[in-house]
Chain A
């Protein structure tokens, strides 16, 4: 079965090609079923490969398959080949598994969209690229998948490109990802220059022998790539905007799989990172700061998907904190549990948006628990998982990360702890606003008719004043709130959407049992397996403190949002609503200078200097020609005179020389 590993990416690719050729003919919903079955089949193959790999001894759990030579050029030899080891199989398992569930969900969610088949075409192409990324046996092939998922991310964020904000968000994601890709490429050049190969196996075997400076440079450049793809400080700004895409895309690409590619890469190259301890500290610091920073923003967002987006950035920060602490397995473990509960939360949010007829403002929801029992039940499981309440999966993985951080640096641990508290807080706030309290959706005008209206994001709030009075009316209008339910009622989503929710909820609840098996399973991948050194009493103490922090976050949110002990404006400062004005800062620091530079080069350098040079040469030749043409007078005797004078001059010269 392990020899069938090429089928794992080939099946989504086949789905993509079939949809490309005849997607329009298949239409809605057959195109969706085709794409979903391709993913499901790919998942089954992955399970087969996994079982095969499990049957081997721990030391022999590495299998390489080369399909054909891709680039046999001089010293560079790159194969289209796969590296099957516990790490890539773990990634492939949850990419195909969660991916298949999200495909299934999208069948219902995208129903009725004009470009239904195109959506699934992109989803399958994405799955293919992502699987190439995780399964490839060389940096270059991983980079191919890396760029492929980036392109699919762009296509899918801008899927509703009729909306200018979606088109802009797609461009933003693409451009910012370029910054990271640049780091990845430089890292590859450096690796090839020093090791002479781009295949993982030889490079990672020689990682220990690299000079320290080289190892540090490679690790740093790869980390730059990971920062771009996994939305860490300072390149995280594209991820919140990526929520302009359809919700299944947010769940699949911008929560569960693509954004974790950076973490995967870091774990894949762990021997290089181990050779560069300074970079590890940097990774841990960036991760911890991103986790805290994004969590603060998530506390004050009103868009149901924006909260989850910032939460994703924050959780990715956790994973980098784990990588930086050397606790690679904890990072992968959290990546897996995060894929479960964040995909669940996003799909739940999509279900809410679907049921609320494209409303995304949480302040205009409320009391949906009665109307959407499956969605609310599963969402609550996801909430408890991400908040880190035992015994849900998030508790176990977060606990491991905080233990790793504790052993690395107490300050990083404290930042992680505060983030855990804030995570519990903002998720509780979201659950209360959406599913509990009083219904806020009957009072305002019927939601906009346009499909999937993104609602006022903080940045656009000023530009859309009509939402403001409505929101404040809801805030004070408890008199209207209870009874009057305008023209529409929220509804539960269809079965294809509910089923993935239930499966993911089960995984999010029970994911914690993977902890010990995963530790043994992934250990052969690591060059220097990391073991927690703390005593069991310290571990227990940390667990108590972490759980207390999570429960405190829950309690604070309950007091503020359920009991309404504090005014809303006090806990939602505009600084946080505007995400620390980072977008505005980037606009001032990057966008405006680049624009000024572009203007200068277009209208001064290009128009004046370059065009001026070309036109100047032309004008010079013209002027010279119009002067010289008078010499050709047509008078034969003038010519004869010129010849005579010339002959005399040459003779005079010759005579002067000889004498």
Chain B
């Protein structure tokens, strides 16, 4: 007995919403970063689900691209976060607001 595709899609939507809300409400840069990863993987889950439902390998291919881009993004993002914490130990996202009009 297989699980229906709609369940996977609902799970992906929930994960995406959790990630988005977390990104908006949390101030810790590291947590925000993890929320972004959560959103990315929610999207990956959607892609895989549809690939299975529509019998189209393209969706899985896109997931590989997303994973590669996400890995690169993690490298850059973590580097920025590390350098922020080097300057101030207790920095939140709202403290880093020097680039404003």
Contact = CB atoms under 8 A, between A and B. Distances in A.
Interface of A: 628-637, 640-641, 644
- Determine chain A's interface SS by DSSP, over half rule: helix
Contacts of B75: none
Q: Bin the interface of chain B by size.
A: 10 to 19
A631 B101 CA distance: 8
A641 B26 CA distance: 12
Interface in B81-101: 93-94, 96-101
Given A629-B101, A630-B101, A631-B101, A641 B24 contact: yes
Contact of A632 (B32, B93, B94, B101): B101
A639 B85 CA distance: 22
Contacts of B93: 635-637
Contacts of B94: 635, 637
A645 to B, nearest CB: 10
Nearest to B98: A634
10 closest A-B pairs by beta carbon, nearest first, are A634-B97, A634-B100, A629-B101, A632-B101, A636-B93, A635-B97, A633-B100, A634-B99, A640-B23, A632-B100
Contacts of A640: 23-24
B20 interface: yes
Given A633-B97, A636-B93, A644-B24, 20 more contacts: A628-B101, A630-B101, A631-B101, A632-B99, A632-B100, A632-B101, A633-B100, A633-B101, A634-B96, A635-B93, A636-B96, A636-B97, A637-B23, A637-B24, A637-B27, A637-B32, A637-B94, A640-B23, A640-B24, A641-B24
A637 B23 CA distance: 7
Contacts of A634: 96-100
A630 to B, nearest CB: 7
Nearest to A641: B24
Nearest to A648: B20
9 contacts: A630-B101, A632-B101, A633-B100, A634-B98, A634-B99, A635-B93, A636-B32, A637-B32, A641-B24
A618 B98 CA distance: 28
Contacts of B20: 644
A629 B20 CA distance: 26
Contacts of B101: 628-633
Residue of B32, B98, B101 ringed by the most chain A CB atoms within 10 A: B101
A415 B46 CA distance: 110
Interface of B: 20, 23-24, 27, 32, 93-94, 96-101
Contacts of B100: 632-635
Nearest to A632: B101
A492 B44 CA distance: 118
Contacts of A641: 24
B66 to A, nearest CB: 17
Contacts of A632: 99-101
A635 B98 CA distance: 9
A652 to B, nearest CB: 15
Contacts of B27: 637
Contacts of B24: 637, 640-641, 644
Contacts of B32: 636-637
B37 to A, nearest CB: 14
Nearest to B25: A637
Contacts of A633: 97, 100-101
A634 B94 CA distance: 8
A75 B20 CA distance: 76
Contacts of B23: 637, 640
A637 B99 CA distance: 13
B16 to A, nearest CB: 11
A637 to B, nearest CB: 6
Nearest to B20: A644
Contacts of B96: 634, 636
A632 B96 CA distance: 13
A637 B93 CA distance: 8
Nearest to B36: A640
Contacts of A635: 93-94, 97, 100
A640 B25 CA distance: 10
Contacts of A644: 20, 24
A242 B64 CA distance: 95
A636 B27 CA distance: 10
Contacts of A631: 101
A648 to B, nearest CB: 10
A632 B100 CA distance: 5
A417 to B, nearest CB: 90
B101 to A, nearest CB: 3
A636 B77 CA distance: 14
A636 to B, nearest CB: 5
Nearest to B99: A634
Contacts of A628: 101
A411 B23 CA distance: 105
A449 to B, nearest CB: 75
A634 B24 CA distance: 14
A641 B99 CA distance: 17
A135 B27 CA distance: 95
A633 B95 CA distance: 12
A630 B101 CA distance: 6
B3 to A, nearest CB: 26
Contacts of B97: 633-636
Nearest to A625: B101
A630 B93 CA distance: 18
A88 B59 CA distance: 97
Residue of A628, A636, A641 ringed by the most chain B CB atoms within 10 A: A636
A132 B53 CA distance: 97
A633 B100 CA distance: 5
Contacts of B99: 632, 634
A636 B101 CA distance: 13
Contacts of A637: 23-24, 27, 32, 93-94
A249 to B, nearest CB: 71
B56 to A, nearest CB: 21
B36 to A, nearest CB: 9
A632 B98 CA distance: 11
A640 B100 CA distance: 15
A644 B93 CA distance: 17
A632 B93 CA distance: 15
Nearest to B100: A634
A649 to B, nearest CB: 14
B22 to A, nearest CB: 11
